[in-house]
């Protein structure tokens, strides 16, 4: 249990590993720091050395209707995809984790498929499919595409969480004569709520940031990743960095908070279980 090193040799190893860990975290967070840094740089073409610092690019970004428009589109579409994929994933993950089913490996293959399929390939397949439903190109197609990817991730994450729950709670309630609906509302829902919320948030961030598949089926719709992609083909304005840095910080906060919350909740429920 204790992580304290004992011999001098082991203490040296620990110091070396810690130093390595610091370097890796620097590598992971350096690009993020650079984006945030250049969002405050006054020069119109970013580069070192830094000029005077300004918050002007944030204001500019908010005034840019193309940027804010695509931001709102992305937010709207990602919320719908996250709701849809949570609704699809929740019952499927419950069944996979708690009930015996036939053809389980086929079902798992269907769930895992969109995760391992290169996103480019899924995008192209959907483009061909959409030839028979051209009216869907644009926002509906983006929602369909993102829901396909995120519902898979959501099912896998929920499945692994649900495996850890005690089926005895549900069976006890059933044996006490509760109907399925009551069991679901009074027992299952409170148990799985933290997992559901965290999966919803992860599905949202995933759909919000996804580019390739959306790009193929978007038609004239512009999501924020598509707008940034287009601007990357020219000299990129610092207002894009300003908007990106806000979004990056929000994304990091969402994933940190939702994951930490899940850890705390699991600790609470496992405490209840052991007492």
Partner 1 sequence: MQAGAGSAEKRRRRFAAAGIAPLMLWQFVFFVVPVILLLVISFWRTRNYRMVPDFTFANYIAVFTNGAMWRALLLSVQTAAFVTIACAVLAYPIAYFIAKKAGRLKGLLLIAVIAPFWISIVMRVAAWRLLLGENGVINQSLLSIGLIDQPLGFLLYSPVATSIGLVYAYLPLYVLPLYASIDAIEDNWIAAAKDLNAGPMRAFWEVTFPLSLPGLIVGAVFCFIFGLGEFVTPALLGGGKQLMMSQVIQDQFQRRLDWPAGAAISIVMLVIVFALLAVSMKWFRKASGEKL
Residues 66-95 interacting with partner 1 (rule: CB under 8 A): 87-89, 91-92, 94-95
Among 177, 181, 234, 235, binds partner 1 (CB under 8 A): 177
What is the nearest approach in angstroms of partner 1 to the Cβ of residue 129?
Answer: 5
What phi and psi values does residue 48 have, to the nearest 5 degrees? -85, 155
**98-157: which residues touch partner 1 (CB under 8 A)?**
99-101, 107, 110-111, 113-114, 116-122, 124-129, 144-145, 147-148, 151-152, 155
Of positions 68, 255, 265, 269, contacts partner 1 by CB under 8 A: 255
**Footprint of partner 1 on 27-46 (CB under 8 A):** 27-32, 34-35, 38, 46
Distance, in Å, from the CA atom of 3 to the CA atom of 20, rounded to the nearest integer, reads: 17
- Residue 181 CB, shortest distance to partner 1, in Å, is 12
Interface pick for partner 1 out of 138, 187, 225, 269 (rule CB under 8 A): 225
The verdict on 187 binding partner 1 (CB under 8 A) reads: no
Q: Residue 207 CA to chain centroid, in angstroms?
A: 7
CA distance 202 to 254: 8
Whole-number minimum distance, CB 58 to partner 1, in Å? Answer: 16
Least distance to partner 1, CB of residue 190, Å = 19
Report the residue number, 17 or 268, with the smaller CB distance to partner 1.
Answer: 17
For residue 204, the minimal CB distance to partner 1 (Å) is 10
Q: Distance between CA 255 and CA 261 in Å, rounded?
A: 10
Measure Cα distances from 178 to 95, 168, 185 in Å. 19, 14, 11
Q: How many residues bind partner 1 (CB under 8 A)?
A: 91
Q: Do residues 140 and 201 touch, judged by C-beta distance below 8 A?
A: no
Q: What is the dihedral of CA 84, 99, 172, 178, to 10 degrees?
A: 60
Q: How far is the CB of 101 from partner 1 (least distance, A)?
A: 5
Q: Which of 11, 44, 166, 180 binds partner 1 (CB under 8 A)?
A: 180
CA dist 147 → 85, 99, 234 (Å): 5, 25, 31
Q: How far is the CB of 77 from partner 1 (least distance, A)?
A: 13
Q: Which of residues 157-176 bind partner 1 (CB under 8 A)?
A: none
By CB under 8 A, what part of segment 198-217 binds partner 1? 202, 205-206, 208-212
Nearer of residues 96 and 173 to partner 1, judged by Cβ: 96
Q: Tell me whether residue 176 or residue 272 sits nearer to partner 1 (CB atom).
A: 176
């Amino acid at each position: 249990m204790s992580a304290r090193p004992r011999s001098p040799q082991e203490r040296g190893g620990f110091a070396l590993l810690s130093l390595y860990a610091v370097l890796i975290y620097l590598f992971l967070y350096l690009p993020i720091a650079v984006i945030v840094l250049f969002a405050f740089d006054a020069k119109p073409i970013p580069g070192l050395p830094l000029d005077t610092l300004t918050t002007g690019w944030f204001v500019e970004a908010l005034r840019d209707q193309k940027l804010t428009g695509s931001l709102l589109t992305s937010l709207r579409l990602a919320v719908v995809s996250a709701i849809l994929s949570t609704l699809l994933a929740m019952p499927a993950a419950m069944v996979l984790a708690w009930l015996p089913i036939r053809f389980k490996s086929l079902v798992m293959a269907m769930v895992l498929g969109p995760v391992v399929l290169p996103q480019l390939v899924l995008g192209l397949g959907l483009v061909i499919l959409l030839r028979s439903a051209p009216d869907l190109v644009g926002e509906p197609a983006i929602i369909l595409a993102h829901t396909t990817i995120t519902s898979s991730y959501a099912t896998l994450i929920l499945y692994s969480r649900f495996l850890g729950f005690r089926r005895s709670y549900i069976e006890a309630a059933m044996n006490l004569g509760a109907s399925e609906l009551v069991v679901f509302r009074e027992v299952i829902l409170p148990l799985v709520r933290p997992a559901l919320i965290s999966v919803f948030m992860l599905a949202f961030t995933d759909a919000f940031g996804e580019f390739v598949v959306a790009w193929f089926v978007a038609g004239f719709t512009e999501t924020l990743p598509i707008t940034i992609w287009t601007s990357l083909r020219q000299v990129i304005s610092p207002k894009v960095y300003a908007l990106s840095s806000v979004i990056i910080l929000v994304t990091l906060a969402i994933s940190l908070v939702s994951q930490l919350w899940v850890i705390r909740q699991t600790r609470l429920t496992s405490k209840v279980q052991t007492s």
